[in-house]
Amino acid sequence: MKRNIYNYFGTLIPVFLLYSTSWAQEGIANFTDIEMHGAGSLGIHTNFENHASFVNAEGLTGFYGGTGSIKVSGSQIPYFFDVEFASDQGVRLELPVEIENNANLIRGDLLTSRQELNGYPLFNFDSFYTGESNSSKVDGFVRVHNKSSFVFPVGRAGKLRVVEIESDAINAEITCAYFYENPALYSGFLTRDTPRPFDNRSTLETTTGLRVSGLEFWFLDAALPSRVKLTWDEISNVSSLAQFLDDLRVVGKNKATGQWEDLGNTEISGGKDKGWIISETFLPQDYAIITLGGTRETEAYTTVNLDNYYISPNSDGVNENLKLDLTTEYRNNSIQIYDRNGLMVYKKDQYQGEFVGIANVDMTYRRNSGLESGIYFYIITFHDLREKHHGYLYLTD
């Protein structure tokens, strides 16, 4: 028998069975088909088991907890139109929970197993989420259906470490999780629920000319050619992976060969303590895990210290731009300019003196406008010469 739940004058009358266990865990269980319509709303403040059809065609379901976590389990997947999670100790998903419209991550993490892929939030078609933060994210797996792009709100240990995917077409299914542990210890599809101890290596050296992060990795499974955007923070220690920011790479461990491979760097922004990087197109299902890495190829480049420069782009015709030697003769070059905090503010390939004190990268709050007066650091790479020239410049009005 199917029961319909409506919100009449703000009153909601669900049909649930209260239960308790020998471990003093209380909760409610649903054994009756339920549909929610209109402005119906349901608040759940304890463990919830679902053993019948639970269809939230419209309306809101909320999970609210205080000192203890909430467990969502059962034998049938609940379907929520709008759902919100506000539980200080998190909401543990022991079965998939499908979101048809919006999931609001208000407070506390969504927790899933890392041993079995039996519980996760599932975003389908146009569904989305809001409210992600270091303290409200998915600590475990997220799955999406019928999407060509998605930003996964994954993380661990109080850190939101999103990964974004953009595929060439609509994926039937994509699965993602973030792991704050050494990828050298990864030996299968899933790892343990509790993080393994670090082995004090922040960098893994490979036989393929790559440096690989020894601190973290992402699991990402998709069947279509895709590009991914990975993020880093101060814990990632990207300075151990590459001397220069532009030498960072997305790297993946090939399932067939067991070798780490360079998945490219088509765009990068940020500084040593915060930033993001976009890979080249690759097939995620061919790689067991992906993470941040760096190429050792540039170690063969000679480093040259240049003079310091002074530029004042004030239209008086003097020192208007950053002019560097050899750029006219060697056009196969690339330049990056950083502020005193290590944040990249400007980059360009085939540089010919275009920098006039205006930022052009996404993470700069003054993009396309004049930068503040002060000291900046520049690096220009002459690829044909296999040389990196660097120095300081002082920018003033």
Q: Which residues lie across from 257 on neighbouring strands? A: none
In a domain, 7, yes or no: no
Question: Helices (H), strands (E): how many in the chain?
Answer: 0, 35
* 284 lies in the same domain as 319: no
Note the pLDDT of residue 208. 67
Q: What does pTM read for this prediction? A: 0.78
In a domain, 246, yes or no: yes
* 253 lies in the same domain as 326: no
* 266 lies in the same domain as 352: no
Note the pLDDT of residue 207. 60
CA proximity to 290, closest of 247, 240, 255: 255
In a domain, 18, yes or no: no
Q: What is the CATH number of the domain that holds 356?
A: 2.60.40
* 136 lies in the same domain as 65: yes
Cα–Cα distance between 11 and 51 in angstroms, integer? Answer: 24
* 318 lies in the same domain as 283: no
* CB 80, CB 124: distance < 8 Å: no
* 53 lies in the same domain as 186: yes
Pairing mode of beta strands 267-271, 333-338: unpaired
In a domain, 220, yes or no: yes
* 265 lies in the same domain as 374: no
Note the pLDDT of residue 239. 86
In this structure, the number of other CB atoms found within 10 A of the CB of residue 6 comes to 14
Q: Which residues lie across from 95 on neighbouring strands? A: none
Q: Which residues of 120-143 are buried (b: 16+ CB within 10 A; e: fewer)?
A: bbbbeeebebebbeebbbbbbbbb
Whole domain around residue 363: which residue ranges? 309-395
* 139 lies in the same domain as 244: yes
* 269 lies in the same domain as 316: no
Cα–Cα distance between 125 and 106 in angstroms, integer? Answer: 22
In a domain, 84, yes or no: yes
In a domain, 319, yes or no: yes
pLDDT by residue, tens only, the chain of 397 residues: 334 333 332 334 444 445 444 344 578 888 888 777 677 788 999 999 999 888 777 889 999 987 888 999 999 999 999 999 999 999 999 999 999 999 999 999 999 998 889 999 999 999 999 999 999 999 999 999 999 999 999 999 789 999 999 999 999 999 999 999 889 877 655 544 444 444 445 667 666 678 999 999 999 999 999 999 999 998 899 988 987 888 899 999 999 999 999 999 998 888 888 899 999 999 999 999 999 999 866 556 788 888 889 999 888 888 889 999 889 999 999 999 998 888 889 999 999 999 999 998 875 555 666 899 999 999 998 988 888 899 999 999 7
* 117 lies in the same domain as 252: yes
Beta-carbon-side half-sphere exposure of residue 192 (alpha carbons within 13 Å): 7
Note the pLDDT of residue 2. 38
* 225 lies in the same domain as 317: no
Cα–Cα distance between 337 and 345 in angstroms, integer? Answer: 6
Note the pLDDT of residue 5. 38
**Nearest 5 degrees, angle CA 92-CA 63-CA 101?**
95
Cα–Cα distance between 226 and 280 in angstroms, integer? Answer: 8
Note the pLDDT of residue 29. 87
In a domain, 5, yes or no: no
Q: First vs last Cα of the chain: how many Å apart?
A: 76
Domain boundary among 246, 266, 295: 295
Cα–Cα distance between 47 and 13 in angstroms, integer? Answer: 18
Note the pLDDT of residue 155. 95
Note the pLDDT of residue 8. 30
Domain boundary among 270, 295, 320: 295
Q: Tens digit of pLDDT for each residue in 106-123?
A: 999 999 998 889 999 999
Number of domains in the chain: 2
DSSP 35-99: EE-TT-EEEE-SEEEE-S-EEESSSEEEEEESSS-EEEEESS--EEEEEEEEETT-EEESS-EEE
Cα–Cα distance between 63 and 215 in angstroms, integer? Answer: 33
Note the pLDDT of residue 369. 67
Note the pLDDT of residue 219. 95
* CB 173, CB 122: distance < 8 Å: no
In a domain, 338, yes or no: yes
Note the pLDDT of residue 200. 46
Note the pLDDT of residue 193. 46
* 118 lies in the same domain as 153: yes
Domain boundary among 295, 318, 348: 295
